[in-house]
Chain A
Amino acid sequence: MRVVIVGGGQAAASVAATLRKPEFSGEILMLCQEDCLPYERPPLSKKYLLPSRANERKTIFPDAYWPAHEITAKLSCTVTGIDPIRKIAKSDHGSIGYDHLVLATGSSPRRLPERMKGNLADLCYLRSLEDAGQLRRRLACSNSLILIGGGYIGLELAATARTMGLDVTVVERDVRILNRVASTSLAGTVRNWHQHHGVRLLERTEVKAFTDDHGVTGVLLANGEKLTSDCIAVGIGASPNTALAFNAGLQINNGIAVDAFGQTSIPGIWAAGDCASFPYFGRRIRLESIQNAIDQGEAVAENILGSQREYVPLPTFWSDQFDHTIQIAGLIEPRMKAVIRDAPSGRSYWHYRDGLLQAVEVTDDPKSYSIGRRMLSERLSPSAEAISDGNRNLKDILKTCRKPVMA
């Protein structure tokens, strides 16, 4: 049996590593567009950009892992088409037959319309090691940075650049930073960190156009104000890479649509990671996180090997900004009520809906996060009173919830 994986990111690595079990003697082939073995993207907006850090990619597995596990990684190889009838993947390195095909093509930064760019030479986007290398060189010779977009990547970049001493402005079109991905309470805490460190945050602020006056790049805002800086970076979200799947006739719905097992609308073709949308409690969601790439990749690999494992994750995410760490388990949605718990090092936000715990957001308090995550994954719901009682130990609360209720 031959499994061909399209992509060489976190999800591709997870599929390959999970497939390579002692009982699987088939061929595993990973076709990666990028020119290096799978690496971690999270550092690219964080430590990697700091001049004090070695200019080194952080690999997902040591380089020796791949040959030792007989996984063939073809680098700089772009898959250009799929023939699902003859079961062939076509690439710029030739065609190859498969028994199972896994699409782990990831996502790409959403781009601003070309017309907004005006005569500006370049706007920086961040996804790959190559992008990060360019940005690193740019930041090293810049005194100021404007970020378009106050999502996680924009805010992480803002924190990193500010740590390097640059003047930093973040422009966010929405009513607030992190509007779709964090609660109002957590966003408030994050806003404080940035303001405390001297980042200028402009929320509810729209960009009208970019300008370039003799090498000085600028941003013209809808309110008429004009900002100038040495460098402009954009982080306004990402879109799933679905062109290949679409052209092969696969169903697309906010990403490559897969069923609970990770299979696409054509049997034998699977998808995992940023590019895939999957059923989740009566609706369809797509996640962009390391946890999702690893876990969905694992489920797909096991299902290729014959399991019938449904992928029903507890979504988790983290972000590092300045000396702070945010950790989130569960999905933040409207109509949730937050209970806040303070710890010596940080704070946790426990989100309830209809009296049930739905999500936990934590800043600088990994122990509370570990326990909250465990409660959510075991579908336990501690009472809001217990959680809000700072004198009660979380681990004891966890133990109490675990006790079976007597009928």
Chain B
Amino acid sequence: MVNWIEACAADEVENEDLIRFDHGSRTFAIYRSPDDEYFCTDGLCTHEEVHLSDGLVMDHIIECPMHNGQFDYRTGEARRTPACVALKTYPVKVENETVFIDLGDQP
């Protein structure tokens, strides 16, 4: 089932940056790539529970601020130890300057 949730205004996320988005008890990270595409992953690093929103986006990589694990935020793939488990990703669409994420069947 599709379940689009309004996350933020498109211009709230700077180019090559990310912000944190909390929804209910969950936390997500919304990214804007250097070519102005938007992406969404779970907000906490899979290694230790650290908010990725404090990390730095470089190209298509998000680097965890704590232990420097890296993920490709487009696919969630873990790219560098100590991170070894992929991040969950969510579909994103931008309509009327607003970013929506699709949480699917999840509550």
A residues adjacent to B (C-beta < 8 A) = 13-14, 17, 40, 60-62, 65, 290-291, 294, 316, 318, 325, 327, 366-367, 369-371, 374, 395
- What's the Cα separation between A290 and B47 when bound, in Å? 14
- What's the Cα separation between A17 and B80 when bound, in Å? 11
- What's the Cα separation between A62 and B82 when bound, in Å? 12
The interface residues of chain A lying within 8 Å CB-to-CB of B65 are: 327, 366-367, 369-370
Asked if residues B82 and A325 are in contact (CB atoms below 8 Å), the reply is: no
Least Cβ distance of B103 to chain A in Å? Answer: 26
The interface residues of chain B lying within 8 Å CB-to-CB of A318 are: 66-67
Query: 0/1 per residue, B69-86, Cβ < 8 Å to A?
Result: 000000000000110100
B37 within 8 A of A: no
Least Cβ distance of A275 to chain B in Å? Answer: 19
Residue of A14, A61, A291, A395 touching B68 (CB-CB under 8 A): A291
Which DSSP category, helix, strand, loop or mixed, fits chain B's interface? loop
Asked if residues A316 and B68 are in contact (CB atoms below 8 Å), the reply is: yes
B36 within 8 A of A: no
B55 within 8 A of A: yes
Report if A370-B67 is in contact (Cβ < 8 Å); known contacts: A17-B81, A294-B82: no
Asked if residues A371 and B56 are in contact (CB atoms below 8 Å), the reply is: yes
B63 within 8 A of A: yes
B54 within 8 A of A: yes
Asked if residues A366 and B84 are in contact (CB atoms below 8 Å), the reply is: no
Asked if residues A366 and B55 are in contact (CB atoms below 8 Å), the reply is: yes
Asked if residues A65 and B82 are in contact (CB atoms below 8 Å), the reply is: no
12 A-B pairs with CB atoms under 8 Å apart are: A17-B81, A40-B82, A294-B82, A327-B66, A366-B66, A367-B54, A369-B65, A370-B54, A370-B55, A370-B63, A374-B56, A395-B17
Report if A325-B54 is in contact (Cβ < 8 Å); known contacts: A60-B82, A294-B81: no
The interface residues of chain A lying within 8 Å CB-to-CB of B54 are: 366-367, 370
B94 within 8 A of A: no
Report if A366-B50 is in contact (Cβ < 8 Å); known contacts: A290-B67, A318-B66: yes
Residue of B nearest to A59 (CB): B84
Least Cβ distance of B26 to chain A in Å? Answer: 20
Q: Other than the known A370-B63, A395-B14, what 20 A-B pairs have Cβ atoms closer than 8 Å?
A: A13-B81, A14-B81, A40-B82, A60-B84, A61-B84, A291-B68, A294-B82, A316-B68, A318-B67, A327-B66, A366-B51, A366-B55, A366-B66, A367-B65, A369-B65, A370-B56, A370-B65, A371-B56, A374-B56, A395-B17
- What's the Cα separation between A366 and B58 when bound, in Å? 16
Report if A60-B56 is in contact (Cβ < 8 Å); known contacts: A290-B67, A369-B65: no
- What's the Cα separation between A366 and B56 when bound, in Å? 10
The interface residues of chain A lying within 8 Å CB-to-CB of B81 are: 13-14, 17, 60, 294
- What's the Cα separation between A40 and B82 when bound, in Å? 9
Least Cβ distance of A279 to chain B in Å? Answer: 23
The interface residues of chain B lying within 8 Å CB-to-CB of A327 are: 65-66
Least Cβ distance of A117 to chain B in Å? Answer: 37
Least Cβ distance of B52 to chain A in Å? Answer: 10
The interface residues of chain B lying within 8 Å CB-to-CB of A17 are: 81
Query: 0/1 per residue, B25-58, Cβ < 8 Å to A?
Result: 0000000000000000000000000110011101
- What's the Cα separation between A13 and B63 when bound, in Å? 20
- What's the Cα separation between A40 and B50 when bound, in Å? 17
Q: Which 6 A-B pairs have the closest CB atoms?
A: A366-B65, A366-B54, A370-B56, A370-B65, A367-B54, A370-B55
Asked if residues B82 and A290 are in contact (CB atoms below 8 Å), the reply is: yes
